[in-house]
Structure 1
Amino acid sequence: MSTHVRHPIWLPALRPADARTFASLYAVESFARATISSVIPIQAYEILHNEQIVSILYTIVALLGLSVTLFMPMLIRRFARRWVYTAGACLLAIGSLFFVTHTLTGQLIGMLCRVMGASALSITLNLYIMDHIRKSDFMQAESLRMAWSMFAWTGGPTLGIFLYTSFGIYAAHGAVAIFALALLVLFWTYRLGDNPSIRPGKSRPANPLANIGRFVAQPRLRLAWLIAFGRSCFWTTFFVYGPLFMVITGEGELAGGLLVSAGNALLFTAIFWGRAGKRFGGRRTMTFAYFAMSATLLAAGAVGETVPLLTGAFLLCGAFFAIALDALGSTAFMRSVRFYERAQMAAVYRTYLDFSELTPPLVYSVVLAFFGLGSVFATLGLLAAACGFVTWRYLPKSL
């Protein structure tokens, strides 16, 4: 028959997608994003010369990114997931083209491309994971994914700063384009298929507001969002206020950089937390992690500026427990979402990242008007304690 296609004999030889497949994709993607994670704020400051305006720029991008995230299911509904994932990787590279213009317009568009690309990659990768990994294996798969990303988030920011300061703006952003290209090659090599059951049916609303309503109406999805929001607030605080604390207390920029690098290096413990979750249960492990993280943050807030290095040590302990929530937290969503509305709910679920970048600075700006910098960590500790209580009270024991 003229319509018959004879595939090369090596095509079926590729093994089915497993945890290592998604861990490798996430690791390369992390390199593409982490390499310029420290370069972007420096570049924004060089253009604007004002910290407050830089914060406003980040707020604008975060709000626009939130809108894009909520509309992502409409793109997934319209196109095959593989093309949305491909577009996400391309957006990371396109963003680099705008960044190298070193203008305010280029900076804004570049940051927006980066946010849009990260949103597309995150949502589609989560859909692929839920499509190919059994529910009983989610914890192990997620812990492996976090552990493999350690190399990117530990070495990537340092690599980006080195390229930017030693070889210039083209070298730093050129590295992102290379990593994005490598991600595309790897993704298409794996040839991940789209499961038709994951696509929303025609009767399901694609309207973002309707999707939010569906999400909020499901208690377990609300709980999964809160778990993710709490641990993401920790990382937002750790990456921004950790180095700032070290500089203000006189320990210097190097101490701040080492604090962030040490926190990222702890990602290898995700394997340990994955095994702990499998042995003791996700509910117990995540509750313990939240309460332990709360204790270390309250201790950091109590010590404050009196012994900066001890405060930094408490923050690192908090990072250790936050990684447990990185490794296990998303399983609460993956096991709760209904298969026929995964795309819509995954987009709403990911808004925890946008809100965790918007909410803490707003709250801290009020707290800092009355208390010292250590109050930031104490405030976060109270949030962690609240998340821990809700997790213990409402997360099913069977998780």
Structure 2
Amino acid sequence: MASHVRHPIWLPAVRPADARTFATLYAIESFARATVSSVIPIQAYEILRSEQTVSILYTAVSLTGLSVTLFMPLLIRRFARRWVYTAGAVLLAIGSLFFVTHTLAGQALGMLARVMGASALSITLNLYIMDHIRKADFTRSESLRMALSMIAWTCGPTLGIFLYTHYGIYAAHGAVAVFALGLLALFWYYRLSDNPLIAAGKSRASNPLANIGRFIAQPRLRLAWLIAFGRSCYWTTFFVYGPLLMVVTGQGELAGGLLISAGNALLFCAIFWGRIGRRYGLRRVISFSFMAMAVVLWAAGAVGASHPLVTAGLLLVGALFTIALDALGSTTFMRAVHAYERPQMAAVYRTYLDFSELTPPLVYSVVLAFFGLGSVFVTLGFLAAACGIVSWRYLPKSM
């Protein structure tokens, strides 16, 4: 009938996903993880009463997390990416429920849920970014993402400790649940679409071991992994041995906390590094940043515990160059990976985070048996120099 009108279902207009979309999602996710980043080790020590046992717990959780990361493509192939992302946000909230039990089992399960959630969120968000952002705009997108996360990683740890010490365990972990659920609501509001090339299907997913072999067979992916591993090793060292230096030399725990906050605050410089990268090219800026980081680390190692505040200042300078790698380093992976194997390769690529949390403490435990605390920074300096040389030699000049 001519008089019959089919009224459309009203949906709120959402602008197409762009760099700000993913930067906002990442910032809220960072708040969900950063808020209790300084609370979790304190809880673990309160339960176990042994630094060595706490280290063993962290190692066990990291190894389990590595396995979960490698099997993530199987989930992405079996379910739509939106559901894997949703599961990641939910796992962060579930982790809070485990943590508030304040038992060893709850602590271990909470840490594991947190690692699994972070892995799901990281891999799926990177896939969405590669779908919606042009390759030419990766540098701008990643620098904006790092800059916005600065707020979370600067304020989050302090907020978590404040809630934990003044209002108790439920307040600290309750804040995480609120951020996680807020992230979930915003994600579904954006209604991000899945790439049909990697949508769920009935075909058999690739074996995780085969994915590793495929990743290793591609030189540019190996190089992207090395760049990410090198910068992540710096942050692992900075977050653990920076505060330790302050405490050992009598500067106090507050000085260690201020050092970490100052380092996180520098993430805002990611926008500056993004502009530098677009002007001079990734190859030059990444290689220069690694070599500058190496020089600063060697200087920090030479000064060591004799002048801890000078050493802390040098570590902040090193953090400034590491932020350049945060802003630009992941672009090398995003430009190199083939669209049809993004989930598999993204999962293998993310193992740099697990290895950077496992490898430095193991190496440093041997070095510290013979030398002082400054040797940690000298050792890391050699890794940074090696990464700089390899980046200059093998990164394409066109990058």
What residue in structure 2 maps to residue 252 of structure 1? 252
What residue in structure 2 maps to residue 145 of structure 1? 145
One-letter amino acid matched to 1:175? A
Cα distance in structure 1, aligned partners of 2:342 and 2:226: 18
1:230-266 deviation digits (Å, cap 9, x = unpaired): 0000000000010001100111101100000000000
- Any conservation in 1 of the 2:76–2:200 contact (CA below 8 Å)? no
* TM-superposed deviation, 1:7: 4.9
What residue in structure 2 maps to residue 357 of structure 1? 357
Specify the SS of the correspondent of 1:304.
Answer: helix
TM-score by length of 1: 0.97
Structure 1 segments, 4+ long, off by >2 Å, are: 5-11, 198-205
Aligned positions of 1:1-399 closer than 5 A:
7-11=8-12, 13-199=13-199, 206-399=206-399
One-letter amino acid matched to 1:116? M
Q: 1:199 to 1:374 in 2, by over 3 A?
A: same
* TM-superposed deviation, 1:398: 1.1
* TM-superposed deviation, 1:14: 1.4
- Any conservation in 1 of the 2:297–2:378 contact (CA below 8 Å)? yes
* TM-superposed deviation, 1:197: 1.7
One-letter amino acid matched to 2:181? L
Cα distance in structure 2, aligned partners of 1:75 and 1:201: 11
Specify the SS of the correspondent of 2:336.
Answer: coil
* TM-superposed deviation, 1:199: 4.4
* TM-superposed deviation, 1:160: 0.1
1:71-91 deviation digits (Å, cap 9, x = unpaired): 000000000000000000000
TM-score by length of 2: 0.97
1:10-61 deviation digits (Å, cap 9, x = unpaired): 44x3110000000000000000000000000000000000000000000000
Cα distance in structure 2, aligned partners of 1:228 and 1:344: 17
Cα distance in structure 2, aligned partners of 1:397 and 1:199: 34
- Any conservation in 1 of the 2:61–2:108 contact (CA below 8 Å)? yes
1:181-203 deviation digits (Å, cap 9, x = unpaired): 10001100000000112349887
One-letter amino acid matched to 2:275? R
Specify the SS of the correspondent of 1:335.
Answer: helix
Q: 1:257 to 1:7 in 2, by over 3 A?
A: farther
One-letter amino acid matched to 2:256? G
One-letter amino acid matched to 1:327? A
Q: 1:363 to 1:185 in 2, by over 3 A?
A: same
1:81-119 deviation digits (Å, cap 9, x = unpaired): 000000000000000000000000000000000000000
What residue in structure 1 maps to residue 3 of structure 2? none
Gap runs ≥5 in structure 2 = 1-5
State the identity as a percent.
79
1:120-177 deviation digits (Å, cap 9, x = unpaired): 0000000000000000000000000000000000000000000000000000000000
